[in-house]
Amino acid sequence: MISSNRWRPVAQAWLLSVLLLGWVGADQSVHAESAAFAAAKRLGPGMNLGNGLEAPREGDWGIVLDKADFAVIAAAGFRHIRLPVRWSGNAEQAPPYTIDPDFVERVDWAIDHARRHGLAVVLDVHHYQEAMADPSSHRARLMALWDQIARHYASAPDDLYFEILNEPNRAMDDVWNEVLAENLAVIRQSNPTRPVVVGPRGNNSMDELDALELPDDPNLIVTVHNYKPLEFSHQGAVWVEGADAWLGRVWQGTPDEQAELIERFEAVDAWAREHRVPIYLGEFGAIAKADMASRWRWTNFVRNQAERRGWAWAYWEFRSGFGAFDLSEGRWNPLLSALMPGAPG
């Protein structure tokens, strides 16, 4: 019989090497995670500059971006803007799908003014409706758009974030994981470490996170949107069939109403912990056709639920149909105190 003492030094050395390798691996994992989490934390509270650059043409939906927008948002304490952009409506239909240089210059202008006021920017591809309806005919074009966008901003500071596609839906749902991965690969050719925002199918629905397949990338932030209950947040919305029947719906913040939202937020939080990724609540908002008292209660509650879980967020939106800023009066409406308690009005 061989004495076990003979092998004790070898076993001890082997165990030490395993522990050291495990520590190094864990340290690398924590470092990789911290990059995405630090990027999400840097976003903090934000505001969507909606209905401007994602309209068919800027101004078509009543909003033309103004340099004062950025000053007002920053002065209220917001730390970033989400900039929805309809790149697909400002690019050639045939290869190489060149984006209109004048439009790129306008986007540059918006990013520059955000940065002048210390605001980070989440830059997305918004309202690419043709791709939602027929993704196979538009996959090459979407990749070409992202190749141009990514290369154009390759030298920009890391406070510029990319979001691959706002609210994938309809036919895009079936191929979304493939489309996400191929466009991320395009972005990584010129922007290897830039923070990139991705979300689930079904209009970035919280209910679709289990269907989301995340590429192996340490700089991903996962976005979800919340407009629940839709009958409240979208009452009277002209683009939602049957929404007029919801007019007059209120949100009182009853225990049952709160529990419905808490359950959804807790499910997202559990998924995020399991997948070790940060969450960004990229859109939430209530239409101006709802009464202000209900809008205030709902907005304050949703914002609080996001912040309690450490999520960055961006309200939808600044000064249009869901707006927190009253364009006609040139001042914030009461929603500012729901979003930024203690902020100057």
Q: What is the pLDDT of residues 189-237, one digit of tens each?
A: 999 999 999 999 999 999 999 999 999 999 999 999 999 999 999 999 9
Give the fold, CATH level 3, of 35-339. Answer: TIM Barrel (3.20.20)
The beta strands (E) that lie in 268-334 are given as: 279-284, 312-315, 325-326, 331-332
Query: What's the one-letter identity of residue 318?
Result: F
Q: What is the pLDDT of residue 34?
A: 84
In this prediction, residue 22 has a pLDDT band, given cuts at 50, 70 and 90, of very low
* DSSP line for 161-224: EEES-SS--GGGGGGHHHHHHHHHHHHHHH-SS--EEE--HHHHBGGGGGG----S-TTEEEEE
Of 33, 130, 163, 167, the active-site residue reads 167
In this prediction, residue 345 has a pLDDT band, given cuts at 50, 70 and 90, of low
Tally of residues, the chain: 345
Domain edges within the chain: 35-339
The answer on pLDDT for 23 being more than 70 is no
In this prediction, residue 70 has a pLDDT band, given cuts at 50, 70 and 90, of very high
Q: Cα 259 to the chain's mean position, in Å?
A: 24
In this prediction, residue 33 has a pLDDT band, given cuts at 50, 70 and 90, of low
Instruction: Kindly state the percentage of the chain with pLDDT values over 90.
Output: 88
The rounded distance, in Å, linking the Cα atoms of 197 and 222 is 6
Q: Does the annotation mark 329 as catalytic?
A: no
Of 58, 130, 213, 283, the active-site residue reads 283
Query: In the predicted model, what is the mean pLDDT of residues 35-40?
Result: 96
Query: In the predicted model, what is the mean pLDDT of residues 323-340?
Result: 94
Q: What are phi and psi of 80, to 5 degrees?
A: -155, 160
pTM confidence score: 0.90
Question: Is the link from the previous residue into 92 a cis peptide, with omega within 30 of 0?
Answer: no
Q: Does the annotation mark 167 as catalytic?
A: yes
DSSP label at residue 94: S
Q: What is the pLDDT of residue 342?
A: 82
Instruction: Kindly state the percentage of the chain with pLDDT values over 70.
Output: 90
Q: What is the pLDDT of residue 315?
A: 98
User: To the nearest whole number, what is the mean pLDDT of the chain?
Assistant: 91
Nearest alpha carbon to residue 159 among 271, 284, 74, 269: 74
The rounded distance, in Å, linking the Cα atoms of 87 and 51 is 14
